[in-house]
Structure 1
Amino acid sequence: MKNGRTGRFSSKLLRTKLKAEDVRKIYLSHTPERMKLLTNVKEVLKWSNATPFRCFGQLGYACCYCDDQYPDPAILKKHTLDAHLNEQNACFMKTRDMTRFYVKVDITELRCKICSNNCDTLDQIMQHLYRDHDKKLFMEVKNYMVPFKFDSDTLKCFICLNKFNRFKALLEHMNAHCRNFVCEVCDAGFITRTSLTNHAKIHATGTFSCKSCDKVFCTLSRKKSHEKYVHGGVLLNKCAHCNESFKDYHKKLKHMLDVHGVEPITLKCHACDRTFTNQKVYRNHTKRDHLMERRYKCTQCEMKFYTSNELKDHSIKHTGVRKFQCDVCLKAYGRKSTLREHMRIHADDRRFKCEHCGMAFVQKCSWRGHMRAKHGEQV
């Protein structure tokens, strides 16, 4: 009995002599990763005015706790803090697949609810809560909260100050700052493991044929995307007001204008005076004309091009292949577009007209030469 009591006493003494840091390490080693991530999110949202949001939809920023959407993120922030104070039933709390887990957080005018201390970043507020208020935070795990600040009329990254016309583009850009997972091939960073896995597919090259048509793709991801959206009957463009879907983006815009009276959004380029109503066209304009992105390089010379089709057109100069032949005069051309322009000669299609003397020309180059020689205009 004596030895038994001594053993229990020694065990109790051993536990009391453990340092607080040792106890914390033991606790950490037995806490699942998912629990650590969710605990960090809950503690930050509970003890600061940081507010989560679900996404940016057709009607604005969507609440994580209900179906409300607001075009102004400041109104959503007020709604969240007023209507969902201390509520734990957010959409991200139901996540089971942690390879996709991340939380979008508005940290505009970020401050501590306990002492009203102001902080600039999520890291600062987490360090403050952990050190100054002894809150239970797991500082050693990756951060899956993606921060945004909406403190101006311009949508921009508060870290590097790059400007964006769409929230989706800003969200994709945040992968560059939230580098939880890094591609070993190109060093690109990603918030989640799933994003890295999807990205890695672009580095796998080969010959991938479509199951439904004769198109061939150089990557598996492009083939799957083609099959899904071209042959799968997927309607990507959904109206935010009545949920009717359209395969064509412009048909959706026309529907929203005709049925709901919603004017299309005008996207203005920050670098020039051009405006766009199509996000894809605007994005291509920015990459091609201002960022001078040229991913496709000719193997025969030093020229580079924005698209693969431009490279194919250029490559004809090196191959000399002329497979497009005129049925009238039998002249052959390397490009179908050149043959199409040539056919206007036989049709006497004089679409380029001089506004000074009325002369008309089949080809634009002839019109330009006329304008310079006869009227002294550089066009």
Structure 2
Amino acid sequence: MRFSQILCAYCHEEYDTLDNLRKHMKADHINTDLKNVFYRAKDNLVKIDISNLKCNLCDQVEQDVDALMSHLSRGHKKPVRFNAPFGVVPYKYNDAGAWLCVYCQKVCKEFSHFNRHILSHFMNFSCDKCGTTFVSDHALKDHRRQVKCFRTAYKARNGRVLKPRTNAEIILQCSTACPFRTWKSNFNCVFCRIQTNNPSNLRVHVATQHENYDVQTAFYKKLGKEFLKIDITDLQCKLCFMPIENFDTLTFHLKNDHQQPINTDAQIGVLPFKLNDGSVWKCTMCPNEFKDFVSLKKHTSQHFQNYVCDTCGEGFITESAMIAHTKVPHENKYNCSRCIATFSSLHERNVHVKTQHTSTPYMCVYCKDKPRFANWELRKKHLMEVHNFKTGADKYECAACQKTFKTRSGKYNHMARTHRMKKDSELNYPCHSCPKAFTTQLFLDKHVAKKHFDM
């Protein structure tokens, strides 16, 4: 097959359909020496038709080349070298009259379109100057010899820069890793709206409902430049069906045994988790265990923090996240949730919390000095004595007219508006048309719109 032509690999005669080519092969080349096929294959890749793929030894039907090679190795003890490329480009023509890609399930009506697409899965050689990718080392050498890509005016034919997501796409395409999203305590399918708190159910759902998903759709829009979460429970290689124990073994296996173009100089693009049945939360990169998934997720991201802020030492997975962090001033950036203290780094705040707030966890949020109490009863007593707190539906009582309110802010606004019981220092927004003053610009605007709308 060349460009939009379908040619016989033995005699180079052209045919309009694969059916006619098959008939020609059976009639004229049934006993032809197979070595003749590789004579003109400079790139060592032979294009083959797998539309009706069967094993010649037992007539078992196979879906693709990877399944066939595994069958030959396990069923017939053939010495298949899984650590080397198979050397073929598979073409598949389905019953609907379209061309089907066995790698990403893309369907093409035109042969010329499919011919360009299928070769994109074999672009494993790239020019280090312009980024143009090629099927073989032979084609890359021709490019370096003939094309002056070092010139600034040169534009690459299909040049692309390896991004972190490139590695992630290879991992999803070549392994049983299950991508997922999280929302509160649920695990969500990245392809539809299904969610569950049982990771086992999510894996079954993806395996049955999205078995042949397009890898590109796994990177949903809101993911942005963040890493995709994947579940590597019961991990296997899709190319040779070998069980994989951990994530590092998977990347090594794909790069060295199957020559997948994993770029070790780029970020891997995924956060691996072993969710199992949701009862044990253990890190896949180290022996640490955690009480819940939120703690595990925070810890796992620390293994991939390649960017560190020079000011506060906080780590980030992506460079864009660190740049956004550095745009915020670091002076007293971190606030203590239990008092009014502020700190310039997370470490300082953590030390403060551990040393200052271990015995008094309950705080009054209504007092300016934020007093703390050792237990809830002491805090409740303080609220009742100082802030007129009452139990029941209406908890706050006006000291002037004994009217009750459900919230402290309701009582506060009532006393300010009805009884003018408010410090003058708090009335910072006076009305220029009457003697009234208000605590916020919003209250002043509402007053002007209601009382002085004709002015």
Q: TM-score, normalised by structure 1?
A: 0.46
Give the number of the structure whose residues are more often helix, by fraction: 1
Q: TM-score, normalised by structure 2?
A: 0.39
